[in-house]
Amino acid sequence: MPRKYCFVGPSLPDAAGLAAGTGVRLMPPVAAGDLLRLDVRAGDVIAIIDGYFHQTRSVRHKEILDLLGRGVHVLGASSMGALRAAELDRFGMRGVGRVYADYRDGRLEADDEVTLLHSPREEGYRPHSEPLVCMRATFAAAVRHGVCDASTADRLIEVLARWPFGLRSYAALPEAGAEAGLDGTAVRALQRHCLAHRQDPKREDALLLLDGLRDDDAFAGPEPRRTPQAPHRTAFLYAWQLAARTTGPEDGASPTSALDLLRACQLFADDYPDHHRDMTLRTLASLCAAECGERAGPGTDAERALLHGEHHGLYRLPARRERLPFLNLWVTPAEAGLPLADQLAIALVRSCRTTLRLPWEEIALSLLEEPSVRDAARRFVRLAEEVNDRALRDRPDLAIDAIPRARIEDLLAEHWRASPDTLELAALDRGFVSLDNAVSAARPFYLFARYNDTAGLLRVAPPAGLQGGRLGVR
């Protein structure tokens, strides 16, 4: 059976009762990153009714395209769902209802037509304003019933459309009517009619979508138009997917960002450079075997990784120092005395994230499946969070983001036993794309690591399958 999720809020505040026993899992209004955190597979159904956009980033088009590319059915109606469906129906998202059709056909254009101010979920999403799309429908009904003429309705809509969405309401109609130059008596009569006969196309469409989710065949019909291939995985989508990954809650604790756990290991495990080197060479050797066919050849991981670099045009083998001037940028003066093959391997490991576009974090995160390293990293991250929380309680004016960069670099140099001249390369040895990237990652850990003894809290052994080693904790 396909799994079904529905993101819903103020458009259908009583959704919990309406969806009881249907197997549909209700979610709060969708925001950026929420879709990437879902555990879904081809054939599952995601329905979007409501979504955040103002103080919280709205759901991104690329997230929906990613789901569609994986064979997940994505439906939209009523509010944010109608907007996204009108924008993405050509790529396979399905729109449901009147509001979607109006956006699709150009009768509605402004995003804020479906927007309203409301109380939080805990207070039942109580409305504090009225969506303009609902006011349009209510005015249209008033015209049909002879309460006002079409000109009056149009002039009110014109005024209300200029107002911020949070000010739109039937209570404000006299003010809007005065701004439009309308007769006050006529506007008050319209106001009374609107309050007694409010139309709500957003709710109607939400109910239509929810009814369809109860029936597995309701949205069967022809298959939606699909993209010819999965959407291009941009650097932005890659970063959003990484940020959405968590390690599941254990012992009643809330999930922890998997990327935070990885950053802790990168920054503070003494043996991380060895781990990163072995993992990278092994990955490049595997890629060479998979992509380069007979050219891959036998040999150690390091030898096959070097061949992979040659196959991508980074250098020519056998290596000759006079043909490799770029090595001066990638090795330290001390490393310049090593055999040339070792220097080339060091340079390849440090540069492959940019030269070969290796999705390193995604590869490294799979190693956090080892319980011992995951648990140790989780403890480390939580200790750092507790220190930050205490510091902010004691010093409300303290800003973690304002800690001087020089202090963080000094901390990293001390922990990594690196000089200022080699700190950039030391960051690359730990899997960071740059020293800037490492400094940003270290900022949330600074107070904990600066004022506490972190020695021995984290240790990372070679990945499983390399020299018989595995991830562990000391």
pLDDT tens track for 339-360: 989 999 999 999 887 776 777 7
CA distance 408 to 424: 13
CA distance 343 to 26: 55
CA distance 87 to 6: 19
pLDDT, position 228: 46
Share of the chain above pLDDT 70, in %: 89
Q: Average pLDDT for residues 26-55, to the nearest whole number?
A: 91
Q: Where are the domains of the chain?
A: 4-117+203-235, 132-199, 241-267+364-451, 272-355
| Spatial contact of 315 and 322, defined as CB atoms under 8 Å apart | no
Residue 367 has pLDDT above 90, yes or no: no
CA distance 175 to 157: 13
Comparing 53 with 448, the larger pLDDT belongs to 448
In this prediction, residue 463 has a pLDDT band, given cuts at 50, 70 and 90, of very low
Q: What is the pLDDT of residues 374-417, one digit of tens each?
A: 888 999 999 999 999 999 888 888 888 889 999 999 999 999 99
Is residue 61 packed enough to be buried (19+ CB in 10 Å), middle (13-18) or exposed (0-12)?
Answer: middle
Residue 462 has pLDDT above 60, yes or no: no
In this prediction, residue 298 has a pLDDT band, given cuts at 50, 70 and 90, of confident
Nearest to 406 by CA among 442, 454, 432, 434: 442
In this prediction, residue 221 has a pLDDT band, given cuts at 50, 70 and 90, of very low
Least confident of 110-119, 247-256, 269-278: 247-256
Mean pLDDT, the chain, as a whole number? 86
CA distance 185 to 174: 9
